[in-house]
Structure 1
Amino acid sequence: MKNTIKILFFAAAILSSVITMAQSTVTGTVIDAEINSPLPGANVLEKGTSNGTTTDFNGNFSLKTQSSSGEIVITFVGYNSMTIPFNGDTNVGTKQLSSDNSLEEVVITGSGVIDLAEDRKTPVAVSTIKAKDIQEKAGNWDLPEVLKSTPSVQNIKGGGFGDGSMFLRGFDQTNTAFLLNGQPINGMEDGKMYWSNWSGVLDVANAVQVQRGLGASKLAISSVGGTVNIVTKTIDNKEGGFIQQMVGNDDYIKSTAYYSTGVNEKGWSFSGMFGHWQGDGYVNYTHGQGQTYFLSVGYQPNESHTFNFLLTGAPQWHAAAGNGSIQSFLDNGRKYNSWNIGNVNSPNTLDGPRGKRYPGGRNFYHKPVANLSWDYNINDKSSLSTVLYGSLGRGGFGSALIGDDGTGYVRGSMNNHNWFGLVSNYNNELSENLNLNIGTDLRTYNGIHFRSVNEFIGIDSIDHNSAFLGDYTVTDTFGGFNPWNAVFNPNNETNQRIQRNYEEVITYYGLFGQLEYSKDAVSAFFQGAISNQDHIATNEYNYAESTDSDKVSNLGFNLKAGAAYEINQIHKVFANAGYYSRQPFHDNLYNDLRSSIDLITPEIENENITGFEAGYQFKSEIISANLNLYHTTWDNRTINSNNGENSESPSFEGYQTQGVKQVHMGVELEVFTRPFDNLKLNGFLSMGDWQFNGDATQRTFDGNGILQGTQDINIDGYKVGGAAQVTGGINGVYTILPRLSIDGAWNWYNDQHSEGSLEKAPLSMPSYDTVDAGFSYKMLLGKEKLNSLQFRVNVNNLFDEVYLESVSGNTQATSTSVNYKGVNTSNNGRFGYGRTWNVSMRYNF
């Protein structure tokens, strides 16, 4: 018995020794590769087991493994995972996790035509927002709201869903180039951006990069304010997706689901997203709803070729907000909407104080966009990227009720288009120090504009007359405020159109090239582009026969050059210069396409833009900063504006001001810091001086586009309106516990002026500031903690600041007028949104 006990004792000791010998301890530190700082809360798991731990606030971890050798897997939501082998007690050292939305990871297809500053060693004035920040802070807003905490950017929300606009260095978004995966998406007629048509891009965006001023774009485009590159998901390397539910103020609801198969063994990959949103809108009677969809099919037959087909769209409708005097908002509140037509028994009405109401202005549109990209790695030194794209836009704006006694019809202004293009770029590494890019940018656009019946109310037809058709009867409705139906019911019948019917065809073809040199601490580039635009307009309403205008052709070009010097790893300086000869917008070439196809007199010539900028970059372990100086002269510009009234109003006046010269100069500072392990603190300050220079000619039109008069005006020294010339902000993220954080952003706007007619000096608007706040928590799920459940809360304008967002008009304040903070309240304007919020729950798998 005693011997048996001894045997058992020794056996237990040996077994214990074996188990102890089979275990080991793995230690190390995990840091964020982008900012070189600790990454608290990263998950460290022994592969094939549920044995794991997380990093502390300093990024350190210590894990007792169940085996003496094997692998550990380090993961963190929003970052690429890392697998590390171990054998016995091991210190793996410091490991850097890179964001899985880093630009190196996301630009997989069409990389040669997606113009990101990261591809250039010579720096430009640029800010990049990664997928993690877009996902958390976008909420139920459009892209301009996400970009507002970057230098020289201001977001004007507007009244309804998707009606916001963005200013960059004082230039509105018609003069900022927006690219979606390398495809130009500004309207070809007037450069405008309608964010309601792009409400889904942020759901699948991997990154958005704002290149201020000259930028890095290789396309044959002539952006004045800068270039905004939106890079969406295409081919995902790994399988996964998310399901998200969001609710917000004013009964806003949004549901989104996304899934990607990853790349299979045969090189195929599939990604898809679908979402639905609806809400009442912050402003009264600006309800809306829509869907977003995204489909990507990728194929990589070998290492040399990558193909990707992408289809995306955002069919939607939303009621718009009418303009009103500042006094009308003071009397009725910030949510006041002047566009309401009452007492109509219609299926599309809303309940209101006066009974049934028909929204005075409703936008409905569907713009499916498809592109096919081909990346061809020819050899180790050369590659070719090509994107073929097209879109069919259908929809318009229902704005007026015609009829009496509760019967009649709702009239809509339709704006359809067919748009196709091709962008191709060839890259060749000529030598170790010299790189060449050449390419082409081709586009053709057919815009179709008419008025039609959106809805009959109590009747089923109307009689109409035009010079082209004579007398005819209209019996069909178009769109019916259903954006899905609009695509398949484009109203191609001329005898079902009313009051206007005209088209234009715009053809654009350009060539571009770039040489980039880099050796040791010096880099330089030279870039040039030449392009031609052809314009033909057709009117089939006001003429007895279908009449085409004369063909107008405008040749344009741009030249850019720059150099940088890396003093050491901490300091870098650069300088860039550029000159653009930019063709005028199509809408500026003709008197008024609604009533004629005559060229304006004098005929508009190219605009001339000269830009200079210089910068300094500082980067250390705890702080980095970018300082930029810029000077932009924009000569021979044409400005379209109005007095802020609805075009249906008898007092509406539209203005076209020709021969305008603007000078924009300023300084921008952007600072990124991490003062403590659990605190990121960033800030920016932009100080601009934007003024008009010299004389100009202003033409005035009534609501029907009829010229009322022409006059020469002196605008020398007038401030450029629309955006604040001095802006600043501080934003930070504080990590309370691993995966639990709060964040906030303070934005300040000063030295802002009104827009409108330039026959008088713009008004000075009061400065304002807003504070936004957010809360995030991520719960890791699954055996290997690779899935997560994320909760997010956003509160915008936390302290409910009351501020004038925009003013259209230049009636000066007097001692006898009613004034609001120094602004005459008879001017039209719009107040910014009060406190808004959204809450979301997102499951990542």
Structure 2
Amino acid sequence: MKKLLTAIMVVLLLPLLSKAQYTISGSVSEKTNQTFLPGASIVLKGAGYGTKSGAMGKYQLSNIKAGKYTIAVSFLGFETQQKIIEVNGDQNVDFSLIQSAYLADEVIVMATRATEKSATTYKNVSKSEIEANNFGQDLPFIINNTPGVVVTSDAGAGVGYTGLRIRGSDATRVNVTVNGIPLNDAESQGSFFVNMPDFASSVENIQIQRGVGTSTNGAGAFGGSLNIQTSSPALSPYAELNNTYGSFNTLKNTVKIGTGLIDNKFSFDGRLSRIQSDGYVDRGASLLKSYFLSGAYHGKTDLLRINVFSGAERTYQSWNGVPESRLNGDIAGMNAYVSRNGLNERDSINLLNSDSRKYNSYLYKDQNDNYWQDHYQLLYAKQLSEQFSFNGALHYTYGRGYYEEYKDNQEFANYGLPNPVINGAPVTETDLVRRRWLNNNFYGVTYAFNYRPQSNLNFTLGGAYNQYRGKHFGQITWAEVASALNNSDHYYDGRGNKNDFNVYAKANYSPIEKLSLFADLQYRRVNYDITGTDTYQQVFDIHQDFNFFNPKVGATYFVDKTSNIYASFSVANKEGNRDDYVNTKAGILPKSERLYDAEAGYRIKDNRFSAGVNVYGMIYKDQLVITGELTDVGSNIRQNVPDSYRAGIEIDGSYTISQHFLINANAALSRNKIKEFNEQIYNYDINDYTTINYKKTDISFSPNAVVFGELVYKPFIGFAIALQSKYVDKQYMDNTQNEQRKLKGYWVNNARLGYDFSFKGVKNMNIGLLANNILNKKYESNGYTYGSISDGVRTTDNFYFPQAGTNLLLSLNVKF
């Protein structure tokens, strides 16, 4: 691998030996209101040069020899513009593009997107940024460098099961939509990107809204939201081959094809992907497959698009993490852990002899998670008049899958089975293999009407109605001692049915040129039923109805053409997830949560510099948190705490130092507190829970500081080196703010190299290298803890998810 990298670096640096004479630079904007267009394609015809416009619409072509050239600029939804120039010195050439005659795909997500007039906190991630960071890792790792985001990987290398937190809020509190259609699982409320491998290769752009954000569809946004738009059609036919290979035998193969616009009306696009990896953790392997198909009709006033995409994942489970004693190489601690948890000889040997950071407690060869998910979207948009437009969607998602696990010494009674009688004596336990299944159907409609009666006034009326039907059941596929159950029989059967209706009305009004007022009112009704039995034979018959009113107001004042200040206040409500109902005390149901979110900030951007500063306060009522109390079968119980809050400041900026250097940086500094918290810890001395009261403790997994910096060096056209550094402050694994139960803070440094060039028959070839954790930092990005009291002594078990040391991903992407 070292020899290969050395050879690649030599090839990349050869062009430095020669130097051309002149530079062409300028900006790309939209003609009507002169807003910048980042991500526009700029091509110097006949010279093999090309680039993309940056965040402020700026572009630069360097090392251009004297002569006559045609420079062409294209941007989706706009007419291509060409200019003939005579190069005999450095030149500035600006472009103002005119919108195309057909309706652009951006109208599909417009209703749920924030703008500068929305007075909300957001970050747009362009297609070019996504492509530059897409080496096959899950989507959370591609947006890892945005403000306040913390990511983790169970297998340690960003492939397989990954996690995402925004402002300390986990994935169950982050609303995710794809083309305005909810992606979060209706019951768990999480988003599992492992079910959508390489989806980033079919994404046009992402908007990340922090805090409550604007009204959207699906689960309530308590930490943030991801608004994803899938790929728009290219202007001309294309084919792409994207391949990545790297550490831990990580391999990504992607094929993309598209027709471009046929007769300026039709387009067809497709993608086929495969990702596989052994993972950093022992046996943390993944095999992921997916496809994406899209066909569209583009009219002058309407757009009809059909998207069909699917993902299949098979991952070896690495969900348990590494015990603290194994991580620290503490032999005595590991022996105590073995004794305390009753590990058998095989599992004890595995614990004592594994690599300290790669330990995986699972040894059964088929300890896999298997899931398939199919998505169908029918999207339609219509420009009814200059003032009035509509967009809507019908959607259907079908998911099914199971995880298989080996369990020893299982009591037949726990599976609702009679004890077999062998040689006249009942047998109460057996080793077995079980599968726990989830089959679900999710379908519905989303819509939005937009009315703009005058230039300073805009109304949007939108909403959705979605239904979820989930089936939870289990099978015993093998048992050492046969029972009365066949392999295909179910030992439990549960149902989860959910209806989710919402309607929202938004208005933007500018009473004077520099002031924009924003109002957004949403009503959401949820009906949730849980029936049948769960994994431990408990019977449920739960029926809950919720009616939520979520108002949002804000104002933006434009100081000048380059800067504005804004302030907003929002309210959000959220129901509990399935586990909050299933894992609870008899007769006690969780309350819904409420969030009051105040945001204020300042944004500025000019030709070389853009920055934003945002301060926020998020006040929670009845937030659900883990207290340490467990159900009779050992599952965590989340309980409402009356008062908690998050408050902080976020800074995000970019500065173009020169034609060769660019700096990106952001920081999220926060204070995250529960005003009063009662920990519940089981006390074997009294066979009951002991309550310990705490005041003003940190909310778990909420670092007080998340800081990112990036230096980009572009020595010549097409070549870029990015050095990235990210710091995540310490995180407590429970809500007691105990220094013995925390994740240590960590600095991680990455490097990314990319070289774009072209030659006859190839539109663009990109060689990329992503070097993760280049300083080989040993750190853990996630974990969990539990404890008990016995003989007056508290015993705590901490578990961690170590992340990989230095590792490489090398990519070769070819566009025809």
- CA distances 1:71-105 after superposition (whole Å, capped 9, x unpaired): 824369999995435499999963347999x9999
Instruction: Determine whether 1:438 maps to 2:461.
Output: yes
Change (3 A) 1:326 1:638: same
Q: Once superposed, what is the RMSD of the aligned Cα atoms?
A: 4.3
State the alpha-carbon separation in 1 of the partners of residues 406 and 618 from structure 2.
Answer: 42
Paired residue for 1:252?
250
Contact 1:31 1:59 in 2 (8 A): no
- CA distances 1:280-320 after superposition (whole Å, capped 9, x unpaired): 111111112121100101123x3222111111121010112
State the alpha-carbon separation in 1 of the partners of residues 314 and 97 from structure 2.
Answer: 36
**Counterpart code for 2:746:** Y
Q: What is the Cα deviation at residue 810 of structure 1?
A: 7.0
Instruction: Determine whether 1:64 maps to 2:57.
Output: no
Other structure's SS at 2:118 match: coil
Contact 2:284 2:316 in 1 (8 A): yes
Instruction: Determine whether 1:414 maps to 2:437.
Output: yes
Paired residue for 1:30?
25
Contact 1:668 1:687 in 2 (8 A): yes
Paired residue for 1:474?
486
**Counterpart code for 2:148:** S
**Counterpart code for 1:835:** T
Q: What is the Cα deviation at residue 620 of structure 1?
A: 2.7
Choose which of 146, 151, 154 in structure 1 pairs with 2:147: 151
Contact 1:124 1:216 in 2 (8 A): yes
- CA distances 1:697-743 after superposition (whole Å, capped 9, x unpaired): 869899xxxxx967766343111121422111211211122111211
State the alpha-carbon separation in 2 of the partners of residues 566 and 435 from structure 1.
Answer: 18
Contact 1:750 1:767 in 2 (8 A): yes
Choose which of 423, 427, 430 in structure 1 pairs with 2:446: 423
Contact 1:656 1:698 in 2 (8 A): no
Q: How many residues align?
A: 735
State the alpha-carbon separation in 1 of the partners of residues 245 and 345 from structure 2.
Answer: 29
Q: What is the Cα deviation at residue 153 of structure 1?
A: 1.0
Q: How does 1:365-404 map to 2 (within 5 A)?
A: 365-401=371-407
Choose which of 305, 316, 320 in structure 1 pairs with 2:313: 316
Instruction: Determine whether 1:529 maps to 2:541.
Output: no
Choose which of 753, 760, 770 in structure 2 pairs with 1:782: 760
State the alpha-carbon separation in 2 of the partners of residues 234 and 340 from structure 1.
Answer: 55
Paired residue for 1:132?
128
Choose which of 237, 240, 247 in structure 2 pairs with 1:239: 237
- CA distances 1:235-268 after superposition (whole Å, capped 9, x unpaired): 4433213111111111111110011112212722
Contact 1:441 1:510 in 2 (8 A): yes
Instruction: Determine whether 1:832 maps to 2:771.
Output: no
Other structure's SS at 2:483 match: strand
Contact 2:66 2:87 in 1 (8 A): no
Instruction: Determine whether 1:667 maps to 2:649.
Output: yes
Q: What is the Cα deviation at residue 379 of structure 1?
A: 0.9
State the alpha-carbon separation in 2 of the partners of residues 128 and 520 from structure 1.
Answer: 25
Paired residue for 1:615?
601
Contact 1:410 1:456 in 2 (8 A): yes
Paired residue for 2:351?
none
Paired residue for 1:227?
225
Paired residue for 1:24?
none
Contact 1:220 1:512 in 2 (8 A): no
Instruction: Determine whether 1:566 maps to 2:558.
Output: yes
Contact 1:326 1:825 in 2 (8 A): no
State the alpha-carbon separation in 1 of the partners of residues 226 and 27 from structure 2.
Answer: 26
Contact 2:103 2:303 in 1 (8 A): no
Change (3 A) 1:733 1:353: closer
Q: What is the Cα deviation at residue 795 of structure 1?
A: 0.7
Instruction: Determine whether 1:507 maps to 2:499.
Output: yes
Contact 1:372 1:389 in 2 (8 A): yes
State the alpha-carbon separation in 1 of the partners of residues 260 and 267 from structure 2.
Answer: 5
Choose which of 150, 160, 166 in structure 2 pairs with 1:162: 160
Other structure's SS at 1:203 match: helix
Other structure's SS at 2:364 match: strand
Other structure's SS at 2:711 match: strand
Contact 2:118 2:555 in 1 (8 A): yes
State the alpha-carbon separation in 2 of the partners of residues 267 and 149 from structure 1.
Answer: 37
Change (3 A) 1:700 1:126: farther
Q: How does 1:620-635 map to 2 (within 5 A)?
A: 620-635=606-621
Q: What is the Cα deviation at residue 148 of structure 1?
A: 2.0
Change (3 A) 1:294 1:701: farther
- CA distances 1:171-227 after superposition (whole Å, capped 9, x unpaired): 111111111111111111121122211222111111122111132344475311111
State the alpha-carbon separation in 1 of the partners of residues 105 and 40 from structure 2.
Answer: 30
Paired residue for 1:216?
214
State the alpha-carbon separation in 1 of the partners of residues 560 and 678 from structure 2.
Answer: 49
Q: What is the Cα deviation at residue 448 of structure 1?
A: 0.8
**Counterpart code for 1:680:** L
Segments of 5+ residues of structure 1 without an aligned counterpart are 1-26, 66-70, 344-351, 465-472, 477-495, 593-598, 703-707, 819-823
Q: What is the Cα deviation at residue 43 of structure 1?
A: 4.6
State the alpha-carbon separation in 1 of the partners of residues 746 and 370 from structure 2.
Answer: 33
Q: Give the structure-2-normalised TM-score.
A: 0.80
State the alpha-carbon separation in 2 of the partners of residues 825 and 541 from structure 1.
Answer: 29
Paired residue for 1:768?
746
- CA distances 1:405-457 after superposition (whole Å, capped 9, x unpaired): xx97521211221111211000001222111101121111011111114x548
Q: What is the Cα deviation at residue 636 of structure 1?
A: 0.8
Q: What is the Cα deviation at residue 149 of structure 1?
A: 1.5
**Counterpart code for 2:757:** M
Change (3 A) 1:285 1:221: closer
State the alpha-carbon separation in 1 of the partners of residues 471 and 514 from structure 2.
Answer: 53
Q: What is the Cα deviation at residue 359 of structure 1?
A: 4.2
Change (3 A) 1:79 1:361: farther
Change (3 A) 1:340 1:672: farther
State the alpha-carbon separation in 1 of the partners of residues 470 and 406 from structure 2.
Answer: 22
Contact 2:407 2:433 in 1 (8 A): yes
Q: How does 1:8-87 map to 2 (within 5 A)?
A: 29-33=24-28, 43-45=43-45, 50=46, 59=62, 61=64, 64-65=67-68, 72-74=70-72, 83-86=81-84
Rg (Cα) greater in structure: 1
Paired residue for 2:195?
197
State the alpha-carbon separation in 1 of the partners of residues 188 and 679 from structure 2.
Answer: 20
State the alpha-carbon separation in 1 of the partners of residues 240 and 260 from structure 2.
Answer: 14
In terms of mean alpha carbon deviation, does 280-289 or 160-169 score higher?
160-169
Paired residue for 2:676?
694
**Counterpart code for 1:439:** G
Other structure's SS at 1:136 match: helix
State the alpha-carbon separation in 2 of the partners of residues 178 and 642 from structure 1.
Answer: 29
Change (3 A) 1:541 1:231: closer
Q: What is the Cα deviation at residue 616 of structure 1?
A: 0.5
Choose which of 112, 115, 119 in structure 1 pairs with 2:112: 115
State the alpha-carbon separation in 2 of the partners of residues 314 and 99 from structure 1.
Answer: 38
Contact 2:194 2:313 in 1 (8 A): yes
Choose which of 769, 778, 789 in structure 2 pairs with 1:802: 778
Contact 1:534 1:554 in 2 (8 A): yes
Paired residue for 1:843?
814
State the alpha-carbon separation in 1 of the partners of residues 39 and 578 from structure 2.
Answer: 52
Other structure's SS at 1:121 match: helix
Identity %: 17
Paired residue for 1:492?
none
Change (3 A) 1:763 1:697: closer
